């Protein structure tokens, strides 16, 4: 079965007694444009999204007929969970993690990051109170990072300057 677009979301429809067949994916597969997967019932699913940047989300419906619904289920994984005490700490932790170009998820008044031991230890040393938990990473902070450097000029910027003359 070839899927080119989402049909809807479980929260927005009446399932009407249809059997829900879950398509289990990892959080990092949610942004892949082309995938071949199997649903829980064994249906072969080929996903080919045409729009760049489209993400699968928990509860997205990929197929629906009179009897069946195929819906996305994001599998839980080990995550670092930080519950900031105020907006200053929220901004600081998001800045520090974002500066490392790591994905950030904001869920239930907490900041979640896929678990990595060095990052966990760094967050502890920096004075945050990270906790390791099994969580679904569902609400990725959407950001557009433009190419930049951290001081000085790069070879790329020198080439672009020469090319623009």
Domain-by-domain residue ranges, the chain? 2-74, 77-135
User: How high is the pLDDT of residue 142?
Assistant: 72
At 11-65, the pLDDT tens digits run 988 888 899 999 999 999 998 889 999 999 999 999 998 677 778 999 999 999 9
pTM for the predicted model, two decimal places: 0.77
| Fold match between domain 2-74 and domain 77-135 | no
Question: From CA 132, how far away is CA 126, in angstroms rounded?
Answer: 16
Pairing of strands 68-74, 60-64: antiparallel
| CA 90 – CA 95 distance, rounded (Å) | 8
Report the SS3 class of residue 107: strand
Reported as a single tens digit per residue, the pLDDT across 89-116 is 998 998 888 888 889 999 988 999 999 9
pLDDT at 151: 52
Q: Give the separation between CA 125 and CA 12, rounded to whole angstroms.
A: 43
The string of DSSP codes covering 74-100 is: EPPEEEEEE--SSHHHHHHHHHHHHTT
Q: For domain 2-74, give its CATH number from 2.60.120.10, 3.30.230.80, 3.20.20.70, 2.60.260.20.
A: 2.60.260.20
Which top CATH class is 77-135? alpha beta
pLDDT of residue 147: 41
Spatial separation of the C-alpha atoms in residues 153 and 146, rounded to whole Å: 15
């Amino acid at each position: 079965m070839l899927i080119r677009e989402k049909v809807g979301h479980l929260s927005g429809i009446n399932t009407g007694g249809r059997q829900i067949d879950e398509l289990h994916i990892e959080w990092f597969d949610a942004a892949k444009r082309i995938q071949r997967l199997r649903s829980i019932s064994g249906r072969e699913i080929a996903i080919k999204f045409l729009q760049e940047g489209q993400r699968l989300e928990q509860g997205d419906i990929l197929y629906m007929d009179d009897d069946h619904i195929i819906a996305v289920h994001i599998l839980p994984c080990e995550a670092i969970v930080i519950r900031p005490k105020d907006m200053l700490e929220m901004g600081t932790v998001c800045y520090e993690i974002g500066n490392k170009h790591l994905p950030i998820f904001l869920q239930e008044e907490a900041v979640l990051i896929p678990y990595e031991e060095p990052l966990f230890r760094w967050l502890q040393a920096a004075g945050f109170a990270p906790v390791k938990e099994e969580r679904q990473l569902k609400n990725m902070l959407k950001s557009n990072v433009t190419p930049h450097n951290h001081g000085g000029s790069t070879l790329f910027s020198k080439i672009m300057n020469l090319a623009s003359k």
